[in-house]
Structure 1
Amino acid sequence: MKKSIPLLMVGTLALAACSGWSDSRVNPTNWFGSSSPAPVETAPANDANALIPEQRERSGVFRRPDEELIGFPITRVDELRIEPTPSGAIVYAAGTAARQGAYNARLVKVENPENAQNGIVEYTFEVSYPDYATNQGTERSRQVTDAVNIGAKELRSVRLVRVRAEQNALESRRR
């Protein structure tokens, strides 16, 4: 009992001294000030690509040539899903590559006047493979996914979405 009363008194005094902690420079929450509005650079209203920075022409001795994308159709498309969004729809495709290590998956739109006339949007599911040999591996380890957005304006005239692969194609019709 003799030890607990002094400990209780010291604890009470220490707790009372904490009231100045919130204004202390040692308190990490005071290291930065409160937020305030900052000026924002405004883009012209008619600029369609306001978020894409302008690219300068690269020239000179150390200029590298533009990298060419080399893609191969994926072996098989396993899943095609179209999910509606407020701004259109997202076309989601999943497929199985021929071997492990596939990268740079992309849905490449096939430009065809006949498809546009019939309301068909067609994509080829392409991937790139490493230059060195890789194992075939399990089917799960070769799974690749990609998605692309279709705007509401383009979606109005679309009746069918098709994704092609090397061995098969999946399509989804509008209800």
Structure 2
Amino acid sequence: MHKPLALTLACALVLAGCGGWQQSRINPSNWFGGSEPAETAAAANSNPLLPQDSNARGIFARPEPKDNTVLVTRVSELRIERTASGAIIHATAIAGRQGAYDVELRPAETPEDGVLAYDFRVVYPEFQTGTGSEFSRTLHAARTVSYQDLEGIRTVRVNAAQNAEESRRR
């Protein structure tokens, strides 16, 4: 009975001596001062539900696919139809050989003032294919454009490797 009483008294004495521990430099919770509110710069057009674009890629991310598209040989027709929300740009082209796929009207890299330019791009198979008739090499592509995109645009152009077709506003 004498040992537990002596141990309890010793612990109480040590605990009473630790009253200055809270303000001591040895206490890790005192190494930094208290927190204060700070101003943050608001990111422009940030949506917390969408991930931010960054160049950082994870270790399991696939490499960026290389662009195998080329300009189609020749654009044969360009037609623009009005819609309730803007317009639809229809383009018809003739490929250099059969088998072209993944057809798209991609915005041109060198925009001009008042001109909405698109490149008619396709992907050809890796193996050689025949030329065939012009009908069998005909390709069609379309793209929708809103009224906001058409604001200030006077000419729509579709580029190919050998030519380009244009349509002007009346």
Report the TM-score, using the length of structure 2 for normalisation. 0.64
Return closer, same or farther for 1:136/1:55 CA change in 2, 3 Å cut-off: farther
Partner Cα distance (2:126, 2:52) in 1: 30
Deviation at 1:82, TM superposition (A): 0.4
How far is 1:55 from its partner? Answer: 9.9
How far apart, CA to CA, are the structure 2 residues paired with 1:88 and 1:100?
33
Structure 1 residues not aligned, in runs of 5+:
1-45
Deviating above 3 A after TM superposition, structure 1's stretches of 4 or more consecutive aligned residues are 53-61
Q: Distance in 2 between matches of 1:174 and 1:97?
A: 28
Verify: 1:134 aligned to 2:133, yes or no. Answer: no
Q: Counterpart amino acid of 1:145?
A: H
Q: Percent identity?
A: 44
Q: Does 1:65 align with 2:60?
A: no
The alignment yields a C-alpha RMSD, in angstroms, of 2.5
Task: Name which one, 1 or 2, has greater alpha-carbon Rg.
Answer: 2
Matched positions, count: 123
Deviation string, structure 1 residues 38-74 (Cα, Å, up to 9, x no partner)? xxxxxxxx999x9xx869987345x421212221111
* Partner-residue secondary structure (3-state), 2:129: coil
Select which of 74, 82, 88 maps to 2:72. 74
CA distance 1:146–1:54, shift in 2 (3 Å): farther
Return the TM-score normalized by structure 1.
0.62
Aligned equivalent of 1:143: 138
Q: 2:152 maps to which residue? A: 157
Query: For 1:104 and 1:55, how far apart are their aligned partners in 2?
Result: 28
Change (3 A) 1:47 1:91: farther
Are the structure 2 counterparts of residues 55 and 106 from structure 1 closer, same or farther at C-alpha, using a change threshold of 3 Å?
farther
Matches within 5 A, 1:13-24: none
- Structure 2, unmatched stretches of 5+, are 1-44
